[in-house]
Amino acid sequence: MSADGHQANDSELVRAGAELDRARERVALSMSALEREIARAFDWREWVRRRPGTAFALAFGLGVLVGRRR
């Protein structure tokens, strides 16, 4: 194989490696965003902040159920 063919293969490998690194970075950023969104979705304080009326109604209903059992 000629030196030019070897250099072409090397540059393709470097380009492929750089593309793989960029893909890994995009996946890492997507995973971080997904983790934040999941944490926010399951945070009860955020849920109450978004739906105060529903949260109040649920708390009241739960209080009534617990109160009746005692």
Cβ-contact 47, 55 below 8 angstroms: yes
Whether the model pTM is above 0.75: no
Cα(46)–Cα(13) distance, integer angstroms:
47
Residue 6 has a pLDDT of 73
Residue 41 has a pLDDT of 84
Residue 46 has a pLDDT of 86
Residue 2 has a pLDDT of 53
Residue 18 has a pLDDT of 96
Tokens of 59: 């708390």
Give the residue from 67, 63, 47 showing the smallest Cα distance to 55.
47
Per run of 10 residues, the mean pLDDT along the chain (length 70 residues) is 69 94 97 94 89 95 92
